Amino acid sequence: MKRKALATMMAAAMVLSMVGCGGAKTDSTASTTTTEKTEAAATEAAATEAADSAASADATVENKDKPLCWFNRQPSSSATGELDKEALNFNGNTYYVGFDANQGAELQGQMVLDYIKKNAETIDRNGDGVIGYVLAIGDIGHNDSIARTRGVRSTLGTGVEADGAVDSTPAGTNVDGKAKVVQDATLEVDGKTYTIRELASQEMKNSAGATWDAATAGNAIGIWTASFGDQIDVVVSNNDGMGMSMFNAWAKDNKVPTFGYDANSDAVAAIAEGYGGTISQHADVQAYLTLRVLRNALDGVDIDTGIGTADDAGNCLVEGEDYRYSEEDRSYYALNIAVTAENYSDFTDSTRVYDKVANQLDESKSPSKKVWLNIYNASDNFLSSTYQPLLEKYDDLLNLKVDYIGGDGQTESNITNRLGNPSEYDAFAINMVKTDNAAAYTSLLSK
């Protein structure tokens, strides 16, 4: 009797929460008895076994018609940033999943500015009236990297206009404040005027060509500090991988706040030791969406299922809070959150699945399918320590068998060579080395 009452209450609660999520079916939510559960588990195990042994791709679908999700590197021109609409519309089941680069970039800039304002009295280490920062740039041709450089420069006032946007060109060394791609800014705090200067910035690319390179950033801070270390008051980085490298090499010991991007677990933990802050690009939402759009396309259900509309298992995100979707760009963009000393304890595990979408799909409705997925650089900090572990959790929940291919970060062919037999797979998720290289993949799928 009691159990029944509880079940009714739970079902009612479920209906409410699902309506809030855009409305969806409400059956299958009542609690089950122990016997039912055991039976269900046995059926499920049998289904999994059957699906596993039958885990070969559907031979009736041509590769060019299979679902495709670009992620983390949006097909676009590395010279102009213009989106590659052909790649984004490769077929009717093609999508991009990333994060809102401009919203995140602004947040990062604001986080740095807020910190400077709050600590104005003590931040200028050598007391020369100039608050100097250095900036590690990830990849001058990657639109997310460009957005972050622009965001920091425009919020701090150090950006200059070039072709209608803030120039994102690396400044090289600018200790004298004479560089053309940035300018000195002034900041007034409590009646005192400070100059803000980008002392140096550079693309962190190693000699083999890998971008966003943490080791290169560690070397750069060594070179910079050897000649003008006492002028560096703040370290800023396009990502945490490079930021942590600079923090560990120098900034931590010298108590210089360092700001990154990604909210990798190690960076979040470092906030307790003086790392200034980072931005969560909601990798838990992105990893889910990357696989979810494939799942929906494979199941032939509405693309919004389990995204803006709850699925049968109760998975549902909130548009405008967790992500936004642009039909024109065929792109899902996760929304960013600033992670600072005030809230970092909520972000300590960057590989935890998002509560709202942590429910297992029913294998009888969403049977096991095979997915080919690559990571452009197996040693990229964000993708390997945050994104992939999340994908590996969601692939189980979504009944997808994913083959993970790790690239070297430099050569596209190192990855495309491993897409030798696309017919073995039902769907593809692609993270290019260079954002301009979509055709290297779509040509293989079109054969």
The CA distance from 432 to 71, in Å, is 8
| Choices 116-124, 316-324, 351-359, 377-385 (CB under 6 A): range interacting with ligand BGC | 377-385
Q: Which is nearer to ligand BGC, 124 or 262 (CB)?
A: 262
Applying CB under 6 A, the span of 106-114, 224-232, 307-315, 376-384 interacting with ligand BGC comes to: 376-384
**CA–CA separation, 22 and 48 (whole Å):** 30
CB of 280 to ligand BGC, least distance (A): 11
Query: Measured from the CB atom, is 372 or 382 closer to ligand BGC?
Result: 382
Q: Is residue 100 a contact residue for ligand BGC (CB under 6 A)?
A: no
Binding region for ligand BGC (CB under 6 A) out of 290-298, 301-309, 347-355, 375-383:
375-383
For residue 331, what are the CA distances in angstroms to 98, 106, 289? 8, 20, 10
Q: How many other β-carbons are positioned within 10 Å of the β-carbon of residue 206?
A: 15
Nearer to ligand BGC, 262 or 322 (CB): 262
Q: Is the dihedral of CA 82, 278, 287, 413 positive or negative?
A: positive
Distance in Å, CB of 417 to ligand BGC, minimum: 20
CB of 432 vs ligand BGC, minimal distance in Å:
9
Minimum distance, C-beta of residue 22 to ligand BGC, in the bound complex (Å)? 28
Rule CB under 6 A: say whether 72 interacts with ligand BGC.
Answer: yes
Nearer to ligand BGC, 138 or 308 (CB): 138
Contacts of 333 (CB under 8 A, 6+ apart): 98, 99, 100, 101, 323, 324, 325, 326
Whether residue 148 contacts residue 108, with contact meaning beta carbons closer than 8 Å, is answered with yes
Q: What is the Cα–Cα distance from 284 to 417, expressed in whole angstroms?
A: 29
Q: Where are the alpha helices (DSSP H) in 169-261?
A: 214-228, 240-246
- CA 66/CA 320 separation, integer angstroms: 29
SS3 (DSSP) at 426: coil
Contact track, ligand BGC, 156-195, x by CB under 6 A: ----------------------------------------
Binding test (CB under 6 A) with ligand BGC, winner from 133, 212, 275, 372: 212
Q: How far is the CB of 281 from ligand BGC (least distance, A)?
A: 6
Write the interaction track for ligand BGC spanning residues 226-255; mark x where CB under 6 A is met and - where it is not.
-------------x-x--------------
DSSP secondary structure letters along 40-62: HHHHHHHHHHHHHHT-S--TTS-
- Tokens 């009717």 locate to 92
Site for ligand BGC in 142-161 (CB under 6 A): 144
Site membership for ligand BGC, residue 213 (CB under 6 A): no
Name which of 310 and 415 has its Cβ closer to ligand BGC.
415
Given the structure tokens 């100059």, which residue do they identify?
195
Residues shown for the chain: 447
Nearer to ligand BGC, 183 or 239 (CB): 239
Angstrom distance (rounded) from CA 268 to CA 23 = 36
- Stated as kind and residue range, the H or E segment containing 172 is strand 172-173
Q: Which is nearer to ligand BGC, 212 or 344 (CB)?
A: 212
379-418: contacts with ligand BGC (CB under 6 A): 380, 382-383
- Number of chain positions touching ligand BGC (CB under 6 A): 12
- Residue 191, sorted as left (phi over 0), alpha (psi -120 to 50) or beta, turns out to be left
Contact 433, 209 (CB under 8 A): no
Q: How many CB atoms within 10 Å of residue 150?
A: 20
In the bound state with ligand BGC, the residue whose beta carbon lies nearer, of 88 and 303, is 88
- Least separation in angstroms between CB 206 and ligand BGC: 13
Question: For ligand BGC, which is the closer residue by CB, 380 or 426?
Answer: 380
Region from 38-46, 127-135, 337-345, 378-386 binding ligand BGC, contact rule CB under 6 A: 378-386
Contact between 75 and ligand BGC by CB under 6 A: the answer reads no
Position of tokens 């159990």? 3
List beta partners, residue 197: 132
Q: Is the Cβ of residue 261 or residue 428 nearer to ligand BGC in the bound state?
A: 261
- The C-alpha angle with vertex 438 and arms to 440 and 264, in degrees rounded to 5, equals 120
Q: How far is the CB of 241 from ligand BGC (least distance, A)?
A: 6
d(CA 125, CA 122): 7
Structure tokens at 134: 């250095």
Among 66, 73, 282, 369, indicate the residue that binds ligand BGC (CB under 6 A): 73
The binding site for ligand BGC (CB under 6 A) comprises 72-73, 138, 144, 212, 239, 241, 261-262, 380, 382-383
